[in-house]
């Protein structure tokens, strides 16, 4: 089955710096790759996603890139702000339907003023 690995597990940056989180997946047939943000004590919420027929997607300060050949995808946050501090999860959706997401272990991002 699909397996998703996420790195790093923790990331500390200064406000205004960029942050990059990387994920690899094992199932080459996976076709959808979302990123969820979870603030402390809150529910995970979708922040950006990318489908397998697209190489890059951007939404303001957040971008995601996908390399299907290498089976990895990355989240890029530019001009980080303290409110970006949270745990970020990547996920992959294997083919076969039902939108079952396989999640990475998460990255705890701390943005220091």
Partner 1 sequence: NAGVTQTPKFRILKIGQSMTLQCTQDMNHNYMYWYRQDPGMGLKLIYYSVGAGITDKGEVPNGYNVSRSTTEDFPLRLELAAPSQTSVYFCASFDSGTNTGELFFGEGSRLTVL
Q: Are 57 and 33 in contact (CB under 8 A)?
A: no
Question: Which run of H or E residues covers position 19?
Answer: strand 19-25
Query: Considering the rule CB under 8 A, would residue 46 count as an interface residue with partner 1?
Result: yes
What is the pattern of x (binds partner 1, CB under 8 A) and - over residues 51-90? Answer: --------------------------------------x-
Number of C-alpha atoms within 13 angstroms, CB side, residue 80?
21
Query: Considering the rule CB under 8 A, would residue 110 count as an interface residue with partner 1?
Result: no
Distance separating alpha carbons of residues 104 and 81, to the nearest angstrom: 23
Which residues here bind partner 1, judged by CB under 8 A?
1, 4, 6, 9, 32, 34, 42-46, 49, 89, 91, 93, 98-106
């Amino acid at each position: 089955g699909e397996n998703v690995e996420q790195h790093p597990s923790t990331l500390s940056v200064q406000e205004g710096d960029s942050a990059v989180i990387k994920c690899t997946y094992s199932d080459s047939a996976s076709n959808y790759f979302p990123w969820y943000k979870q603030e402390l004590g809150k529910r995970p919420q979708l922040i950006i996603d990318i489908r397998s027929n697209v190489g890059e997607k951007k939404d303001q300060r957040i971008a995601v890139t996908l390399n299907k050949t290498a089976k990895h995808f990355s989240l890029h946050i530019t001009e980080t702000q303290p409110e970006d501090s949270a745990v970020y999860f990547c996920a992959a959706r294997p083919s076969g339907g039902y939108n079952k997401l396989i999640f990475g272990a998460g990255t705890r991002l701390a943005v220091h003023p």
